[in-house]
Every structure is written in structure tokens, then in C-alpha cells.
Structure 1
Amino acid sequence: MMNYLWVSLMVLACITACVTGRTAEVSAAVTGGANQAVTLCLSIVGLMGLWSGVMELMQQSGLCEKITSVLRRPLSLLFHRASRDRETMECIAANVTANLLGLSNAATPIGLRAADRLYDLYGRRGTPDEVLTFVVLNTTSIQLIPTTVAAVRASLGAQQPFDIMPAVWGASVCSVAAGLAAARLFARLRKEREP
């Protein structure tokens, strides 16, 4: 679906450039944007590699397992039925841990594995409430260490790239609370409408 969206946007930009006579500006923007994207990726790869390595060390040392065991009880309140399946809860807790550390690139494959486990528990028909809850939790995610944003800020010359942490904490806690409240509300409304 996203491929179609991006292709549609590019085609629309080309058509608009031809109609308005601004093909030179669009060509320059494409070249400049591609150059900036490569520069940005190369400038943040070091910091992302560092934090991905830290995450791997945490997993190898067993620290992730300890964090998972701490998170298991609060997460079992959100995922009642899934809390009985150890592997599913480990995937969910590992995803939450990766998001807490701001490692969205590490959280994505773990999140896909957790969603797959939830679908195995509930069946593939429809979208169970706990799958939706997990998607909301993964998408909004509380971040203790915003590594990706800090890496981008450092690459753009910020003297203190982590000075945004209090704002990130407040915004992420609010987004998780609002997202989970909305998920619960819509799940309740849907159940009331079902015959």
C-alpha cells in the first residue's frame, strides 16, 4: 500500500511540475533531497550502531530478560489472555524495552513477531482487541532514551542532542495514555454495537 502511495505522490509531483513549468526546480529538489538523505543516514549510523550494540549486549547479558520480567506484570494488565503465553509476553516486553531505549529499528522486527504471536493466540479472523492494543502501544511508545532523534539532532550540529529528553518523556507518556484510552473506548463501543 505504501509503495502505491509514494509512487502516486511522485507522479503527481512530476505532473504538477510539468503543468506549472517548474521541472528544473523539481529536478534540483530530487537531487538535493537524495544527497541530504544519504548524508543524514551516514551521519546517524554510528550512534544507531552504538545503541543497537548496547541492546544486543543487554540481551546477551540477560538484562533484557530482567527488564522483561519487571514489565511482565504491568503488561499482563493490558494483555490478559496473552499473559498466559510466555513467548508472546517476552516478545511484547522486548518490543516495549526496545521502544523505551528509543531503538525503533530494533523494535520493529520484535513487534512483528509479537503481533504474529498474538494472531496465533486469537486466530487470524478479524483484528482482536489485544492486537490493536499492542499496535497502539508500539506506535505511541514511551521513550526513555530518544536515540534516533538525538542522532539526527547531533548530525545537524546540536551541541546537546539529548536535552530534549524531558519533553520526549512527557509527550510519549501522554501519547501512550491517550492511545490506550482511545483503544479501550473504541473496543467497548464496538462490543456494545455487536448483536
Structure 2
Amino acid sequence: MINGIWLGLIVIGVVVAIFTGNVQAVTDAAINFSGTAVEIAIGLIGIMTLWLGIMAIAEKSGLIRGLAKALSPIMKKLFPEVPADHPAMGAMIMNIAANILGLGNAATPFGLKAMEELDTLNEHKGVATDAMVMFLAINTSSVTLLPATVIGLRAAAGSTNATEVIGPVILATTISTVSAIILAKLFGKMKRYKVENYIEKSDVENVQEG
């Protein structure tokens, strides 16, 4: 999907350049920004190494597990249908805790594990449960306390205060996460989006096709 979007943007850009007579400008820009991309990537190596090292220390020191314990009461309210001692709950807590600290690489396996475990509670395989939808919404909009990648990009681009985005990022991701939770809860209560409603429609369609 993403590859298709990028391909479409490139094709549209080339076509517009041809019709407007700016092919040379597009070619020059592509070459110049390719060099800029390499410079930024090289500049990121040191910054990302530093931040990933700090995050690794946080992970090894038990900071993530401590944060996970703090999140446990909230998670029980957000996912009432998931038993507190179920493996899915632990995986979700670890995923969210890792995302909060900017540990994307550590969060990914926890997220995949959480979805696998949530599917074991799913009575209708192939149809996302309310818990799955809620987890995906939180995971996508996750509150971030340390946006290491953004800080690294700003530092590589020559920012004099690369960390000044931390406050706005915390505010923006908090708002996005709260909004995602509210919308997931609201849509989950609508009959149109109930799993039972989807199953009924599927059964009717199967009967009609048969």
C-alpha cells in the first residue's frame, strides 16, 4: 500500500514536470536531496546510537517493567474482557510501556505477541474483537515521552535545541491517545460495528450465495 502511494507520487511528479517543462529542475532536486538524505543518515548514526544505548539501559534496569506495573490498573479498565492474568495483558502492557519510552524495536515483538494472545480469546476468528481494536488504536497513537528518532533527525539537521520537541510531542501524543481511546469505546458501542452484527451479515450473504 505504502509502496503504491510513493510510486503514485513519483509518477505524478514526473508527469507534471514534463507538462510544465520542469524536468531538469526535478532531476536536479532528486540528485541534490539524495545527497542530503545520505548526510542526514550519517549524522543520525551517532545520535541514534546514544539514544538507543540509553533506552537499552532503561530496559535492562527494569524501568520498562516498573512502568508496566504502573499501567496495569489502567489496562484492566481499558480491556475488561481480557483476564488480568492472561498472557495478552502482559504483552500489551510491555508493548505500551516500550512505546512510551521510545523503544520501537522492543515494542514490536510485544505487539505481535499481544495480538496473537488476544486472538486466543476471539470466538469469531478473522474478525477483530473490541480488545484488538482498542489495542491497535492505543498502539498507533501511543503516548511518547522520549521521541528519540525525531530528536536525532533534528540534531542531524543542525538544530540548536533538538530536544525542545519533547514537550509538544508529549502533549500531541497524549491528545491523540485519549482521542483514540474515546473513539474506540464509542464505535465499540454502536450496533453497526458490533461483532455480532458483522457475523449476522456474513451469514446472510453466505446463504444468499449458496
After TM superposition, the score normalised by the length of structure 2 is 0.80
Deviation (angstroms), 1:85: 4.8
Q: C-alpha deviations, 1:44-70, integer Å up to 9, x for none?
A: 232222232333333333332222222
SS in 2 for 1:162: helix
Percent identity of paired positions between Structure 1 and Structure 2: 31
Unpaired segments ≥5 residues, structure 2: 201-210
Aligned length: 195
Q: How far 1:182 moved relative to its partner? A: 1.0
Runs of 4+ in 1 over 6 A off after TM superposition: none
1:126 matched to which residue of 2? 127
Superimposed CA distance per residue, residues 8-50 of structure 1 (whole angstroms, 9 cap, x where no aligned partner): 2222222222222221122122222222222222222322222
CA distance in 2, matches of 1:35, 1:85: 52
More off after superposition, 134-143 vs 165-174: 165-174
Structure label with greater radius of gyration: 2
Q: Which amino acid aligns with 2:4?
A: Y
Residue in 2 aligned with 1:97?
A: 97
Range moving further from structure 2, 174-183 or 38-47 = 38-47
What is the aligned-residue RMSD (CA, Å)? 2.4
Contact 2:141/2:176 (CA < 8 Å) preserved in 1?
A: yes
Task: Give 1:173's aligned amino acid.
Answer: T
Q: Does the CA-based 8 Å contact 1:103-1:148 persist in structure 2?
A: no
- Distance across 2 between alignment mates of 1:152 and 1:36: 12
Q: Aligned letter for 1:191?
A: K
Provide TM-score, normalisation by structure 1: 0.85
Unmatched segments (≥5 aa) in structure 1: none
The yes-or-no answer on 1:3 pairing with 2:3 is yes
Q: Does 1:66 align with 2:76?
A: no
Q: Which amino acid aligns with 1:177?
A: V
Indicate how the Cα distance of structure 1 residues 41 and 59 shifts in structure 2: closer, same or farther if over 3 A, else same.
Answer: same
* Cα pair 2:143 2:177 within 8 Å, conserved: yes
